């Protein structure tokens, strides 16, 4: 882009960089806090995949819906969920985004359209289709995004949902974050071919394969999918190829899959999405001092969140049975 | 008052809900087909359009999941499973998602959803076209379960289920579709969690669910001829169930027969029996009797079906055992 960078492009670069850096540092701090024994809820860290959450959410409006899975800290932050409320949730505190009932795997921020994340693989794919159906019936212009991993494409939920969304031309975007490992098992140990993107064609859903470490590429493809959805032209499948740097769960680097993965990791680390975003800004003439100031702001925000989480109260035992049933009319 | 059949009452409830609330829509298999829905959804698709009455692909999981997602996003869906057996393909959205959603997120989002499941027993259909699995769902925190037995309740409980704001499993039985009873023309609700005394009596309490309530009324008449004054309670709501009404009745009669046309082990009757024996041990004059299906899949041969399904006669026998005749 160099000096040709327009103001709009620079804003997008800055927005996605800040979003990615915030996720990266939140996750690194969380990893430390797990190792220190302060956070005990199982955390599936998003480090390495930040460009996908940042790129997708930069193409969405505040009212658009997103749905996630077990590895959704990044989705929550990128869509605008409160950072301190998520940290408090990881501590199981009453001030957490799910009141200490959810933990890392059940995040919610209805005020910014995040209607829930759950660890049951592929479970929120049909739910995202349902929210898109709600939008279509209300004609309210909202788009619904489903984030899921490559493992989820092996579930029936995925195929049934693509068919339903295509049949009813629903405003939903299926974002598959293909990091090549479902827990410990490589993609090619789970399917005959590396062809997730072709599932789209089979179900009549336009699909594209993307570099999931390039926030701008992800943003561009999502923006096109959003436009298609808002026009009433139906769903899109985006396969974003990426790599998670840490193990399936917890702070360790490769505890699940052994030594072979180290070479891969090295290769993918050379394509670090956060460093890439930073370099683009610098190449475009953005002052390094201002970037450092942005970074410092993120550090302060995270430290304040840790302090907030540490000092917040635990939920009252007397509230154990609250919320088993909704009290009123339900819905956001 | 005007009378309708049970199936017509269900249809009327759907029509009123669709007419009065733009958030209500139907999704599921066989909505257009009398083969699947009897008369209970007749003509709704032409009256309200295929956008709101969506006869869906063969995808129980995705259609139920979509209904859950639409409910979380503020709609009031009714997802239809013409046979409860097939609904088992949608257990993830029902159990893992709908039932847990409010709790997992501290009530900030909830699932105002009705899951309608039809029990379609008998007729030499065999094990996978006959199962009544209310007990399975009664077990789950976060779900409500209703089983109306009269046309009046069929309409009122469906409207209550849509208004409830929680995931409600509404189970109707094809054996009830031709039952006729008075049904008011307007929108009305039957409160979830309330049972109904269908006949007062002093000697023994009979609690029955769904079509066993019809059988129980026949049993009450036979018992009366034999000098036994039975009280009959139609449970209507399986979860929550009306502890107070049943406890009051058992305090009066001291004897309890529970009839639920589903398996005995860990069933609805077992749950009520356990609660009554815990709370009213001193009031009981006789052991509690359960009239349920045997713990076996439904057979096909009519000869075996006759042995498998329970009737008024089984309730009479149990009631006589309870009073010590």
Query: What is the per-residue pLDDT across A46-77, written as a single tens digit (0 to 9) for each?
Result: 999 999 999 999 999 999 999 999 999 999 99
Question: Regarding the domain delimited by B196-323, which CATH topology (the fold level of the hierarchy) does it fall under?
Answer: Rossmann fold (3.40.50)
Is B14 noted as a catalytic residue in this protein? Answer: no
Burial class, B307, CB count within 10 angstroms (exposed 0-12 / middle 13-18 / buried 19+): exposed
Burial class (CB in 10 A: 0-12, 13-18, 19+), B8: buried
Min Cα–Cα distance to chain B from A139, Å: 12
Q: Is A66 at the interface with chain B, CB within 8 A?
A: no
Sheet holding A207-211, edge to edge: A114-117, A65-68, A144-149, A172-178, A236-241, A207-211
A310/chain B closest Cα distance in angstroms: 20
Q: What is the reported pLDDT for A332?
A: 32
Is the preceding peptide bond at A200 cis, omega within 30 degrees of 0?
A: no
Q: Coil, strand or helix: which one is A190?
A: coil
CA distance A81 to A68: 13
CA distances from B16 to A256, B188, B215 (A): 56, 10, 30
Q: Which fold has domain B3-182?
A: Rossmann fold (3.40.50)
List of residues 6+ apart from A262 with CB closer than 8 A: A254
pLDDT band at A1 (very low <50, low <70, confident <90, very high): very low
- Give the 3-state DSSP-derived string for B88-114, with helices as H, strands as E and coil as C: HHHHHHHHHHHHHHHHHCCCCCCCCCE
Phi, psi values for residue B198, rounded to 5°:
-90, -25
Residues of A in contact with B75 (CB under 8 A): 133-134, 137-138, 331
pLDDT at A258: 67
* Phi, psi (deg, nearest 5) at residue B139: -70, -20
CA B75, B80, B81, B84 torsion: positive or negative? positive
What's the pTM? 0.96
- Give B-chain residues touching A328 at CB under 8 angstroms: 165
pLDDT in tens, B251-277: 999 999 999 999 999 999 999 999 999
How far apart, in whole angstroms, are the C-alpha atoms of residue A6 and residue B42? Answer: 60
Q: Is A81 on the interface with B (CB under 8 A)?
A: no
Quick count: other Cβ atoms within 10 Å of Cβ A208? 15
Nearest to B105 among A102, A325, A329 (CB): A102
Q: Touching check for B25 and chain A: CB below 8 Å?
A: yes
Average pLDDT over residues B129-140: 96
**A160 burial type by CB count under 10 A (0-12 exposed, 13-18 middle, 19+ buried):** buried
Any idea where the domains of chain B sit in the sequence? 3-182, 196-323
Q: Which residues of A230-243 are buried (b: 16+ CB within 10 A; e: fewer)?
A: eeeebbbbbbbbbb
Three-state SS for B230?
A: strand
Phi/psi-derived region of residue A110, left when phi > 0, alpha when psi is between -120 and 50, beta in every other case? alpha
Provide the mean pLDDT of chain A.
94
- Residue A132: the pLDDT is 98
Q: Do domains B3-182 and B196-323 have the same CATH topology?
A: yes
Dist. CA A298–CA A127, nearest whole Å? 33
Instruction: For chain B, say whether A308 makes contact (Cβ under 8 Å).
Output: no
Query: Regarding the domain delimited by A2-309, which CATH topology (the fold level of the hierarchy) does it fall under?
Result: Rossmann fold (3.40.50)
Give the mean model confidence (pLDDT) for residues B193-209: 98
Question: CB distance A115–B109 less than 8 Å?
Answer: yes
Contact status, residue B10 vs residue B154, Cβ threshold 8 Å: yes
CB A144 within 8 A of CB A115: no
């Amino acid at each position: 882009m160099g000096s040709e960078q327009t103001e709009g492009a620079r804003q997008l670069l800055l927005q996605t960089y800040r979003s990615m850096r915030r996720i990266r540092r939140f996750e690194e701090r969380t990893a430390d806090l797990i190792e220190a024994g302060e956070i005990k809820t199982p955390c599936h860290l998003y480090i390495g995949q930040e460009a996908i959450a940042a790129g997708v959410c930069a193409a969405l409006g505040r009212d658009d819906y997103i749905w996630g899975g077990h590895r959704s800290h990044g989705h929550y932050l990128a869509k605008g969920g409160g950072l301190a409320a998520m940290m408090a949730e990881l501590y199981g505190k009453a001030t957490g985004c799910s009141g200490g009932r959810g933990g890392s795997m059940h995040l919610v921020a209805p005020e910014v359209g995040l209607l829930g994340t759950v660890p049951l693989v592929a479970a929120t794919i049909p739910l995202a289709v349902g929210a898109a159906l709600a939008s279509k019936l209300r004609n309210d212009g909202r788009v619904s995004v489903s984030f899921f991993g490559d493992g989820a494409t092996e579930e029936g939920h995925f195929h049934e949902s693509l068919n339903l969304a295509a049949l009813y031309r629903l405003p939903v975007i299926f974002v598959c974050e293909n990091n090549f490992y479902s827990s410990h098992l490589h993609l090619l140990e789970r399917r005959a071919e590396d062809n997730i993107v072709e599932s789209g064609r089979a179900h009549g859903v336009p699909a594209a394969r993307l570099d999931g470490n390039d926030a701008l590429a992800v943003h561009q493809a999502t923006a096109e999918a959003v436009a298609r959805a808002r026009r009433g032209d139906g769903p899109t499948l985006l396969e974003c190829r990426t790599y998670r740097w840490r193990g399936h769960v917890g702070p360790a680097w490769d505890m699940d899959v052994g030594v072979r993965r180290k070479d891969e990791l090295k290769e993918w680390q050379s394509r670090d999405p956060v460093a890439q975003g930073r370099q683009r800004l610098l190449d475009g003439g953005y002052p390094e001092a201002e970037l450092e100031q942005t970074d410092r702001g993120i550090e302060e925000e995270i430290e304040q969140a840790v302090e907030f989480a540490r000092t917040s109260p635990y939920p009252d035992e007397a509230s154990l049975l609250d919320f088993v049933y909704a009290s009123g009319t339900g819905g956001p | 008052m005007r009378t309708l059949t049970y199936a017509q009452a269900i249809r009327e409830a759907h029509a009123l809900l669709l007419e009065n609330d733009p958030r209500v829509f139907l999704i599921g298999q066989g909505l257009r087909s009398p083969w699947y829905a009897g008369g209970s959804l007749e003509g709704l698709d032409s009256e309200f359009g295929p956008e709101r009455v969506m006869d869906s692909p063969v995808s129980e999981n995705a259609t139920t999941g979509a209904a859950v997602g639409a409910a979380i996003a503020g709609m009031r869906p009714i997802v239809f499973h013409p046979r409860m057996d097939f609904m088992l393909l949608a257990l993830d959205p029902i159990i893992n998602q709908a039932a847990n959603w409010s709790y997992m997120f501290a009530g900030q989002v909830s699932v105002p959803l009705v899951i309608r499941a039809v029990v379609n027993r008998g007729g030499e259909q065999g094990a996978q076209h006959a199962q009544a699995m209310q007990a399975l769902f009664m077990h789950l925190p976060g779900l409500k379960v209703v089983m109306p037995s009269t046309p009046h309740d069929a309409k009122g409980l469906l409207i209550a289920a849509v208004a409830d704001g929680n995931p409600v499993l509404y189970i109707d039985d094809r054996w009830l579709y031709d039952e006729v009873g008075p049904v008011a023309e307007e929108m009305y609700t039957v409160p979830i969690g309330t049972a109904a005394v269908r006949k007062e009596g002093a000697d023994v309490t009979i609690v029955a669910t769904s079509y066993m309530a019809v059988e129980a009324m026949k049993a009450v008449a036979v018992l009366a001829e034999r000098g036994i004054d039975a009280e009959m309670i139609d449970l209507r709501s399986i979860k929550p169930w009306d502890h107070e009404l049943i406890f009051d009745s058992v305090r009066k009669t001291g004897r309890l027969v529970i009839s639920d046309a589903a398996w005995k082990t860990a069933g609805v009757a077992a749950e009520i029996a356990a609660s009554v024996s815990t709370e009213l041990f001193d009031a009981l004059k006789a052991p509690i009797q359960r009239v349920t299906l045997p713990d076996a899949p439904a057979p096909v041969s009519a000869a075996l079906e006759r042995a498998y399904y329970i009737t008024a006669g089984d309730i009479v026998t149990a009631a006589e055992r309870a009073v010590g005749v």
